[in-house]
A and B are shown apart, each in its own frame.
Chain A
Amino acid sequence: MISIMRAAMISLRRDRGALAMSFILPIAFFSIFAIIFAGRRDVTPKITVIVVDEDRSRASERLIQGLEREGSLAVKTRPEPKRGAPQPGYTATTAEAAVKGGTVPVALIVPHGFGENPISFGGGGNRAAIQLLKDRSDMVAWQMLAGLLQKVAMTSMPDVMAEQGAKYVDQYVGGYTPEQRSRLDASLDHFRREEAERSAAAGGEVGATTTGFADGGMISVATRDVIGENKDSPMVSFYAAAIGVMFLLFTSSRASGSLLDEAENGTLDRVLSSRVTMLALLGGKLVFNMILAFSQLVLMFLWGWAVFKLEFFPHIPGFVVMGVSTAFAVGAFGMLLASVCQTRNQLGALSTLVILIMSSVGGSMFPRFLMPEAMQKAGLLTINAWAIDGFTKVFWRDEPLWRLWPQVAVLLATGAVLFAIARKLAQRWEYV
C-alpha cells in the first residue's frame, strides 16, 4: 500500500498540471469568491447613481447630501468634464439616456414639489414621488438604492421629519399651544444646526446600511424600467453570452490542442514539408476555431430564443459583429495556449486554470456589477468581459452597431496580439 502511495506521490509531483489543478486552482477560486462575496467593506462595490434635483428645495438638497455621504453610493450630478471643461448637470432626459446606455445602472429624479411634502408615514398621499429609473439587468443596484433612500430620509433629515410630524399633529390633533410651538421651533432649529455641522464635516457614511422599504416608505418612490421593459427575461441574453464565451474558450483551447497532437505524431512535420507554411497552418487552425466558436454561439442563442424567448432574430447584425469578434479573440486565445504548452496534458491543466479564472473575474459566472470595483476593472483584462459587454449592448440595450466599436476593437486587437504571440512561439516547431 505504501509503495502504491509513494508511486502516486512521485507521479503527482512530476505532473505540474495536476499539481496546479490540485492546489493553485482551488486557492485562486477561493480568493475570487471570497473577495466578491465575503463583504469586506474596503472592497464592497459602489453603486454609481445619477441624481437630478429638479426641486432644488432644502429637503431635496439635504436628501442628496445624505445620499452623497453613503459610502456604498457614488453620486453623480453631472457627466465627467470633457477636455477639462465642466459639463452641464444631468437632466431627467440625459439621466434616462445614461441608464439606457449602461453608463449607470440607476438614476434618481427628485421632482418639482418634493420639498413641499417630502415624507409621510404610511405612504401614498399627495407626495411628489421621486423617480427611480433603473436598468433591471442589474438586480442589485436599484433595490439597494431604494432602501438607502428611506434610510437617508431617516438619518439625514431629522428636522424635516420633525417638521412633518408637527404638521401631522396640526392636521390630526388640532394644533399646538403658542408655548408648544415655541419649543418645537427651538428643537427644529437645534436639528438644523446639528445637520449643518454634520454636513460641514467631511462626508463619510452615517450609520449602517439598511435594507429599504421602497414605495411604502416615508419617501415616495416611483420605480421605472427604462430599458428592457418589454423583454421577458433580463438575464437570458447575459447568460447566453457569459456561459457561451466560457465554453468557447474551452472548446477553442481543446481544438487548438490538435497542434500538439500533430507535433507529437509527426503530421505537423509532414504538413510543413509541403507547400503549407507555419503561418498558413496556424491561420487555418484559427479560422477553424473561429467557425467552431461562432457555431457554438449561434446554437446557444438559438436555444435561448427557442426556450427562453430571447429576441434573437431582430438582433442578428449585432450578433454577427460580436460573434465574429469574440470568435476571433477566443480562437487566437486557444492557439496561444497550445503554442505555450508542450503536451496535451499541460494544455488541459493550463487552459482549465486560466479559463476558469478569466471566466470568474470576467463575469461569466456572475455579473461583474456584483464585484468590487477593483475586480470589475481587472475583469476588463479578460475576453469574457468585453464579449459580454458587447452582447449586452446588442441584446439588452438595443444599441446601434456603431456603438459596439470599443468591444469590437478590443476583441479584434486582443485576437491579433494573441495570434502574433502564438505565431512567434510556434517557431519552435519550425526551426529544429
Chain B
Amino acid sequence: MASAVPVPSSLPLRIDGLIKRFGSVVAVDGVTLELPSGECLGLLGPNGAGKSTLIRGIVGRVIPDAGKVSVFGSAADSAKAREALGWVPQELALYSRLTSRENLESFGRYHGLAGSALRQAVRWCLDWAALLDRADEPVKNLSGGMKRRLNMAAGLIHQPKVVLMDEPTVGVDPQSRNRIFEMIEQLHGAGMSIIYTTHYMEEAERLCDRIAIMDHGRVIALGAKEELIRNTFASRSQVLARFADPVDRVAAWVEQRGGILVGAGAQFTVEHPTEIAGLLDAGAKAGLELVDISLRRPNLESVFLHLTGRELRD
C-alpha cells in the first residue's frame, strides 16, 4: 500500500502559529512547523511538552485558540485533510471485543472504504503489522506489542498521505519496539510523510530526518540531529565525571566551574579534549575524589539538557 501512495504536489502539512490553551495552561504556544513530502519529522520532548496536543490540533480533535493547520493546502477540519491524515493515538484506541480484522474493517468503513478496496486495505494493514496469523483473534487476547501494532495499522487503514504517530511505542517491550521501528522505516522508505512524537531520544535519532525539540508548548530547536548538536555545541564535546564525595560538595564545585550536575555526576562542555586535564587538576585541588571520567560527543539529550536545564525524562 505504501508504495502506492502518490507523491503530493504541495506541502503535506503546514502548522502556522498554533496556540492552544486549557484554562491558564498554554499547552501549545505558537508552534510553526512544516512537513515536506516524504520526511519523518520527530517531535521530541518530555511528558507535558505539548506534543500530543499539537498532534490532536492537527487532526482536529482540539480546537486551537489561534493559528492555522493546512494539509496539502486544505484546512485541517476539511474532508480532504481528514482523508489525507492518518492518526495513531497514544492510547490503544481499539474495540477490544472485536478481532483485529473487524477493528480494521470498522475503521476502514468510517473512512468510507468498502468492498474490495476495504478488503485489500485490511490485508495490507494486517501484513504490515505482522498480524495476519492473528487476524481473527479478539483484540483483548493480543499481547501488548500486537495491540500497539494494530493501533498503528488502524491509523493507516484508509491509506493516508501523512501519518501522525503519537508515541506508538509507549509500554512496549524492546523486541516489539524494534518491530515497530521496522514498520515505520518501511513507511518512511516508501516515501510517506510522518510526524513521530516521542520522549525517547534514541527513537528520534533512529527514525527521524529532522527533529523539533519541544518544551512548555514551544518548539525550542528544529533541525536534523547533527544540525541541532552542531548549532548547540559547535565542535565542543562533553566530559562526564563521577566523584566519591557527597553530592552537595560536588554541586558547589560544578557550579563554580560552569558545569551541570547530572544525577550524582558532573557534566562539562569542552572545546578540546585536552581541557580534561585542567578539570581533573581543579577537582583534585578542591579535594574531590574522582571515581571515573569519560568524554563523549553531545547527543539530543545533551541538546535538550543544554536548552532547558532539564533532562528529557525528568
- Answer yes or no: are A and B bound together in one complex: yes
Residues on the A chain within 8 Å of B82, using CB: 273-275
Inter-chain contact A266/B63, CB cutoff 8 Å? no
Inter-chain contact B85/A273, CB cutoff 8 Å? yes
Inter-chain contact A266/B93, CB cutoff 8 Å? yes
Residues on the B chain within 8 Å of A272, using CB: 61
Residues on the A chain within 8 Å of B62, using CB: 432
Inter-chain contact A267/B112, CB cutoff 8 Å? no
Interface string of A260-300 (1 = CB under 8 A from B): 00000111011111111000000000000000000000000
Inter-chain contact B92/A270, CB cutoff 8 Å? no
A265-B91, A265-B93 known; A273 vs B158 contact (CB < 8 Å) = no
Asked if B89 is an interface residue, CB under 8 A from chain A, the answer is yes
Instruction: Determine the distance from Cα of A406 to Cα of B158 in the docked complex, in whole angstroms.
Output: 47
Least distance between B239 CB and chain A CB atoms (Å): 44
Instruction: Determine the distance from Cα of A275 to Cα of B93 in the docked complex, in whole angstroms.
Output: 17
Q: Give residues of chain B (87-134) contacting chain A, Cβ–Cβ below 8 Å.
A: 87, 89-96, 107, 110-112
Inter-chain contact B79/A266, CB cutoff 8 Å? no
Least distance between B44 CB and chain A CB atoms (Å): 22
Contact partner of A275 among B61, B94, B110, B155, CB < 8 A?
B110
Least distance between B85 CB and chain A CB atoms (Å): 7
Least distance between A284 CB and chain B CB atoms (Å): 10
Inter-chain contact B63/A432, CB cutoff 8 Å? yes
Which B residue's beta carbon lies closest to that of A431? B63
Number of A-B contacts (CB under 8 A): 49
Asked if B56 is an interface residue, CB under 8 A from chain A, the answer is yes
Contact partner of B89 among A266, A275, A431, A432, CB < 8 A?
A266
Residues on the B chain within 8 Å of A432, using CB: 56, 61-63
Inter-chain contact B158/A274, CB cutoff 8 Å? yes
Asked if B59 is an interface residue, CB under 8 A from chain A, the answer is yes
Inter-chain contact B56/A270, CB cutoff 8 Å? no
Contact partner of B95 among A267, A273, A275, A431, CB < 8 A?
A267
Instruction: Determine the distance from Cα of A275 to Cα of B158 in the docked complex, in whole angstroms.
Output: 11
Residues on the B chain within 8 Å of A276, using CB: 110
Residues on the A chain within 8 Å of B63, using CB: 431-432
Least distance between A52 CB and chain B CB atoms (Å): 63
Instruction: Determine the distance from Cα of A2 to Cα of B148 in the docked complex, in whole angstroms.
Output: 44
Residues on the B chain within 8 Å of A271, using CB: 107, 110
Inter-chain contact A266/B92, CB cutoff 8 Å? yes
Q: Give residues of chain A (188-247) contacting chain B, Cβ–Cβ below 8 Å.
A: none
Asked if B154 is an interface residue, CB under 8 A from chain A, the answer is yes
Interface string of A79-116 (1 = CB under 8 A from B): 00000000000000000000000000000000000000
Instruction: Determine the distance from Cα of A270 to Cα of B94 in the docked complex, in whole angstroms.
Output: 9
Can you report 21 A-B residue pairs in the complex whose CB atoms are below 8 A from each other?
A: A265-B91, A265-B93, A265-B96, A266-B90, A266-B93, A267-B95, A269-B56, A269-B61, A270-B154, A271-B107, A272-B61, A273-B59, A273-B60, A274-B82, A274-B111, A275-B79, A275-B111, A276-B110, A432-B56, A432-B61, A432-B63
| A269-B61, A273-B87 known, 20 other contacts, Cβ within 8 Å | A265-B94, A266-B89, A269-B89, A270-B87, A270-B107, A271-B107, A271-B110, A273-B59, A273-B85, A274-B82, A274-B111, A275-B82, A275-B83, A275-B110, A276-B110, A431-B63, A432-B56, A432-B61, A432-B62, A432-B63
